């Protein structure tokens, strides 16, 4: 994978100059955000013992860790489009590093819960690099480059699981886990200064296109306006689902009154978001409605379909990673360590599968790649639903690894298209798709809490088949050019093939 498609240009991943330097600095920033985001998971047993946490409190920490990520990815998408990846990523790394250290040395569950909730914001770092990589790489290379960024960065969660328990032992004592977690925050803080000092938003001599207004994504037709409003609703419904999980019906963290207040607050925020969408796009309405020139239009339905595709790919990945060790343990009667080792292969595929999906997308076409990989994902989960204790363990591992390839390659293929829709909106489009990935994780894990793993796998399979149909009929191959408006009002033609 050290060389790429294209007769005239090579992609040498062993270089550390120009766009390759930017790629390496970007994926490592994303890698650190995932280390910080998931650094407490492999140390939960030690944390629980030190603070005397109940099982319910541990579950709450896990929920709080992802709760803020959904709105954070939307917000970060807007900020990166407006202010650029350099300052946005640097601030995110610095703030997250400080919060991580505060979490590590928290002396009560209440403080720990607050800092874990705020650390959910670090999960939005992914969006920043998507825009940065898109600025530096030409269209024929952007799929592979985004795949490397996403796949190698995602590996941060696995790296945390493999290294932090041993690091906690090296620090020693009952609270060695605190120093291990705090160290990841220190590294994040230091790297924020490195990133700011070295990275540029875009190559010298090119234009960094910005949205005209903050607050919501620009759309180019009335129909797209209403579809945008509709597609925003699941983000708030999912947050409502998280409130329900913490209500007296489940984890009993909120009272009935507090839950009701939060439900009303989410409804009000959603209505406010609709007003923001209208404010940004009100030029489409009224007697003096402006007609967007054909060359500057894009179809929001492309964004909507890619949102659903990422819900099925990354959403299912997060959900399956959470339950797979226990699935192996219960299905085959394995020890906890053996089950965890076998399950880790699913996440390990990220190193190769996600870049592979981007590469295939670059070489053989965007729509065709998403279609084939989503179909493979649907079939893969369907077969996983058939696994039971009578299967050889080795065969089950092979099936799960094969399904994992389609899942993570599908993620790479989705983000091989996103930068080619509308350059100045890439952060916001990536943010919305990324948020839908978290929506999928919450949705699928909620379903799992009510059904057996077999039905859980079949549910993901059915959802993926529905997405396949939508991709086949409605997703369009990116056109040959994107037209973007320069600050002086002139139109620049940007090749995407």
What is residue 7's predicted lDDT score, i.e. its pLDDT? Answer: 32
What's the confidence (pLDDT) of residue 6? Answer: 39
Query: Which residues are 481's β-sheet partners?
Result: 495
Pick the closest to residue 40 from 97, 103, 99 (CA basis). 103
CA angle centred on 375, ends 371 and 380, rounded to 5°: 150
**Residue 488 burial (CB count, 10 A):** 5
- Please give the chain's pLDDT, 497 residues, in tens: 333 333 335 677 878 888 999 999 999 999 999 999 989 888 888 898 899 998 888 888 888 888 899 999 999 999 999 999 999 999 999 999 999 999 999 999 999 999 999 999 999 999 999 999 999 998 888 899 999 999 999 888 888 888 888 899 999 878 899 999 999 999 999 999 999 999 999 999 888 888 878 789 999 999 999 999 999 999 999 999 999 988 888 888 889 999 999 999 999 999 999 999 999 999 999 888 878 877 788 999 999 999 999 999 999 998 898 788 889 988 999 887 788 788 878 878 888 899 999 999 988 999 999 999 999 999 999 999 999 999 999 999 999 999 999 999 999 999 999 998 988 899 999 999 999 999 999 999 889 988 999 999 999 999 999 999 999 999 998 876 666 666 655 666 666 55
Which residues are within 8 A (CB) of 34 and not within 5 positions of it... i.e. 6 or more apart?
153, 154, 155, 156, 157, 160
Residue with tokens 């995602």, as numbered in its chain: 154
- DSSP state, residue 372: H
Two tokens, residue 122:
């670090």
Q: How distant, in Å, are the alpha carbons of 27, 31, 39, 86, 387 from that of 148?
A: 7, 11, 22, 19, 31
CA distance 251 to 246: 5
The backbone torsions φ and ψ at residue 480, rounded to the nearest 5 degrees and listed phi first, read -70, -25
**Which pLDDT does position 368 carry in this prediction?**
95
DSSP state of 397: H
3-state helix, strand, coil in the chain (%, to 5): 75, 0, 25
Give residue for tokens 């959900």: 319
Q: Three-state SS for 483?
A: strand
C-alpha neighbours within 13 Å on the C-beta side of residue 413: 32
Q: What is the C-alpha to C-alpha distance for residues 364 and 360, in angstroms, rounded to an integer?
A: 6
Which SS3 state, helix, strand or coil, does residue 495 take? strand
Task: Give the chain's domains with CATH numbers.
Answer: 1-202 (1.20.1250.20), 222-291 (no CATH), 308-497 (1.20.1250.20)
Helical H runs in 390-479? 393-417, 426-448, 453-474
492 DSSP β-pair partners: 484
Q: Name the one residue in this structure whose structure tokens are 């978290």.
A: 438
CA proximity to 65, closest of 94, 85, 49, 43: 43
Contact between 379 and 399 under an 8 Å Cβ cutoff? The reply is: no
Count CB-CB contacts under 10 A for residue 294.
8
């Amino acid at each position: 994978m050290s060389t790429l498609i294209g007769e005239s240009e090579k992609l040498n991943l062993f270089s550390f100059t120009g766009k390759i330097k930017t790629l390496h600095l970007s994926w490592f920033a994303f890698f650190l955000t995932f280390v910080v985001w998931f650094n407490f998971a492999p140390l939960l047993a030690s944390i629980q013992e030190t603070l005397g946490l109940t099982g319910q409190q541990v579950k709450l920490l896990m929920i709080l860790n992802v709760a803020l990520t959904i709105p954070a990815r939307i917000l970060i998408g807007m900020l990166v489009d407006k202010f650029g990846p350099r300052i946005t990523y640097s601030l995110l790394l610095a703030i997250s590093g400080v919060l991580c250290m505060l979490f590590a040395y928290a002396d009560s569950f209440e403080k720990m819960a607050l800092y874990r909730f705020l650390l959910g914001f670090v999960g939005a770092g992914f969006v920043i690099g998507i825009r940065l990589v898109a600025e530096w790489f030409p269209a024929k290379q952007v799929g592979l480059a985004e795949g490397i960024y996403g796949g190698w960065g995602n590996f941060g969660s696995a790296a945390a699981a493999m290294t932090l328990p041993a690091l906690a032992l090296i620090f020693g004592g009952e609270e060695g886990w605190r120093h291990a977690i705090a160290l990841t925050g220190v590294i994040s803080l230091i790297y924020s200064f490195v990133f700011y000092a070295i990275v540029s938003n875009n190559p010298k001599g090119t234009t960094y296109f910005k949205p005209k207004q903050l607050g919501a994504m620009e759309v180019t037709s009335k129909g797209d306006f209403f579809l945008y409003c509709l597609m925003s609703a699941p983000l708030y419904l999912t947050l409502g689902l998280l409130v329900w999980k913490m209500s007296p019906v489940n984890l009993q963290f909120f009272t009935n009154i507090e839950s009701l207040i939060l439900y009303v607050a989410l409804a009000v925020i959603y209505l406010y978001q609709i007003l923001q969408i209208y404010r940004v796009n009100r030029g489409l309405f009224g007697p003096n409605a402006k007609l967007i020139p054909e060359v500057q239009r894009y179809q929001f339905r492309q964004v909507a379909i890619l949102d659903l595709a990422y819900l099925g790919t990354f959403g299912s990945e997060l959900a399956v990673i959470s339950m797979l060790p226990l699935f192996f343990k219960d299905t085959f009667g394995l020890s906890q360590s053996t089950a965890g080792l076998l399950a880790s292969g699913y996440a390990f595929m990220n190193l190769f599968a996600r870049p592979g999906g981007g590469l295939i997308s670059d070489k053989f076409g965007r729509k065709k790649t998403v279609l084939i990989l989503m179909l493979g994902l649907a079939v893969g989960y369907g077969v996983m639903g058939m696994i039971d204790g009578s299967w050889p363990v080795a065969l089950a591992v092979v099936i799960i690894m094969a399904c994992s390839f389609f899942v993570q390659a599908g993620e790479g293929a989705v983000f091989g298209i996103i930068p080619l829709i509308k350059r100045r909106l890439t952060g916001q489009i990536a943010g919305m798709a990324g948020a839908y990935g978290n929506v999928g994780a919450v949705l699928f894990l909620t379903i799992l809490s009510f059904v057996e793993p077999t039905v859980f796998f079949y549910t993901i399979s059915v959802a993926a088949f529905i997405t396949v149909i939508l991709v086949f009929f409605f997703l369009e191959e990116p056109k040959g050019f994107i037209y973007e408006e320069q600050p002086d009002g002139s139109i620049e033609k940007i090749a995407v093939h």
